Amino acid sequence: MITARALTKTYGETTAVDGIDFTVRPGLVTGFLGPNGAGKSTTMRMVIGLDRPTAGEVRVNDHRYADTPAPLREVGALLEARSVHPGRSALDHLRWLAATNGIPRSRVDAVLEQVGLGAVAARRVGKFSLGMGQRLGIAAALLGDPPVIVLDEPVNGLDPEGIRWVRTLARELAAEGRTVMVSSHLMSEMALTADHLLVIGRGRILADCSMSDFISEHAASYVRVRSPQQVVLAETLQARGLAVTAYDGELRVDGRDAVTIGDTAAAAGLTLHELTVVSSSLEEAFMTLTADSVDYHATTGAAA
């Protein structure tokens, strides 16, 4: 389990992480979601001891990373997949990591196969594509068979097959009882991968809840109804106990019960021109939640 208490990191005037508390539990994939510059990488770097907190602390399985004798066996991490010497082969890179952490060499072959790099193990890493580099980074994270795994934007640069592979891998690792923390700036990706959600914006936690709670709270649905007898229809639906709001030329009825609406209109002899269930997207909910914490907004010509 990963626990952060009042975790803070400042760089000069910039507060990258602003006194956050969270717990990442075993057996689940926890999605760490936030727009660019929100503080995801900084937080993850502190989890694995690459950055020291300015205040507060973060512990992995109740100890600080710096106090761990064989860290790769404790927590595996993918951060900056490109931080590998380009002249080294994938095999040599992993062998060197294994040797310095007391990990048997047999694990090197096992993880190369697991990430699908077995056939290119002897090739220089400098020749790797972005996706192959990501796979090598994930292999390094898995090398020590750690109970805790931290992956920073693991699907960056991967093709659709690779994205699906990472998603499945994260879920399998969690199903084995491991603690899995995965960052992303894409809500749609998290919705498919994560059981639990931590949303961060400008260094602060904006949401800490199960994925299903986030979906039921934010992915609101309504039924759009158009009728030439809009006023009468609204009164008839309200009389049935439905929550109805009139918008420009249409009615919006809370929920997704198009059947009741259609039947009610038919029973009252009212004509419908449209009856559509509309679900707002999770991406929209995420953007609304983090709207105030986005550093860089693009402006369209019209907006400018």
Indicate whether 8 belongs to the interface with ligand ATP (CB under 6 A). no
Indicate whether 199 belongs to the interface with ligand ATP (CB under 6 A). no
Tokens of 229: 């007898």
Indicate whether 83 belongs to the interface with ligand ATP (CB under 6 A). no
DSSP three-state, residue 119: helix
Burial class (CB in 10 A: 0-12, 13-18, 19+), 252: middle
Indicate whether 299 belongs to the interface with ligand ATP (CB under 6 A). no
Q: Which residues contact 272 (CB under 8 A, 6 or more apart)?
A: 225, 226, 227, 233, 262, 265
Which x/- pattern over 176-195 shows residues binding ligand ATP (rule: CB under 6 A)? Answer: ---------x----------
Indicate whether 137 belongs to the interface with ligand ATP (CB under 6 A). no
Q: Where are the beta strands (DSSP E) in 12-152?
A: 14-24, 29-33, 55-60, 75-78, 148-152
Q: Using CA atoms, how far apart are residues 262 and 215, in angstroms rounded to an integer?
A: 26
Q: Which is nearer to ligand ATP, 32 or 222 (CB)?
A: 32
The residue within the footprint of ligand ATP, chosen from 4, 7, 37, 234 (CB under 6 A), is 37
Which range of residues in 10-18, 97-105, 118-126, 237-245 is near ligand ATP by CB under 6 A?
Answer: 10-18
Q: How far is the CB of 136 from ligand ATP (least distance, A)?
A: 20
Indicate whether 201 belongs to the interface with ligand ATP (CB under 6 A). no
Single-letter amino acid code for the residue at 135: R
Q: Which is nearer to ligand ATP, 21 or 67 (CB)?
A: 21
Tokens of 249: 């030329």
Indicate whether 97 belongs to the interface with ligand ATP (CB under 6 A). no
The residue within the footprint of ligand ATP, chosen from 4, 24, 29, 38 (CB under 6 A), is 38
∠ CA 291-292-295 to the nearest 5 degrees? Answer: 90
The residue within the footprint of ligand ATP, chosen from 31, 34, 76, 137 (CB under 6 A), is 34
Indicate whether 14 belongs to the interface with ligand ATP (CB under 6 A). yes
Tokens of 114: 């697991």
What's the distance, Cα to Cα, between the start and end of the chain in Å? 46
118 secondary structure, DSSP code? G
Alpha helices (H) in the chain, listed in sequence order: 40-47, 71-74, 90-100, 106-114, 130-142, 160-175, 187-193, 211-218, 230-239, 258-267, 282-290
DSSP three-state, residue 249: coil
Q: Which is nearer to ligand ATP, 37 or 154 (CB)?
A: 37
Indicate whether 106 belongs to the interface with ligand ATP (CB under 6 A). no
Q: How far is the CB of 173 from ligand ATP (least distance, A)?
A: 22
The residue within the footprint of ligand ATP, chosen from 8, 30, 41, 264 (CB under 6 A), is 41
Single-letter amino acid code for the residue at 47: V
Which range of residues in 30-38, 129-137, 166-174, 282-290 is near ligand ATP by CB under 6 A?
Answer: 30-38
**What residues make contact with ligand ATP under the rule CB under 6 A?**
11, 14, 16, 34, 36-42, 185
